[in-house]
Amino acid sequence: MYWEVTAPHHAPHFHAYYQDDVAVYSFNPVELIAGSLPRRQRRLVEASAELHEAELRDDWDRLQAGRTPVPIEPLS
């Protein structure tokens, strides 16, 4: 997640990247809203987002307040 000064955001979301693929997900509920990822990566991103939903929300709120997001640990 990162702040894009020139792009107003109304719905909480995050971007996931894998090689040349990009996907945009909403959270609460975790849902693909744009782009695509290979099936395996899509499932990993969705599982991680469900496990870290509260942290995603906190980071979204931090970004909206103009603060830096806190890193979220990846799935191991």
Q: Do residues 28 and 57 lie in contact, with contact meaning Cβ atoms separated by under 8 Å?
A: yes
Q: pTM for this structure?
A: 0.79
pLDDT of residue 49: 94
Question: How many separate domains does the chain show?
Answer: 1
Question: Exposed, middle or buried, 72 (CB in 10 Å: 0-12/13-18/19+)?
Answer: middle
> pLDDT (tens digit, 0 to 9) for every residue of the chain, 76 residues total?
555 555 556 788 899 999 999 999 998 899 999 999 999 999 999 999 999 999 999 998 898 888 888 998 876 5
Q: Is residue 55 part of a domain?
A: yes
Q: Is residue 39 part of a domain?
A: yes
pLDDT of residue 38: 98
pLDDT of residue 66: 85
Q: Is residue 28 part of a domain?
A: yes
Q: How far apart are CA 53 and CA 13, in angstroms?
A: 11
Print the domain residue range for 49: 13-64
Q: Is residue 71 part of a domain?
A: no
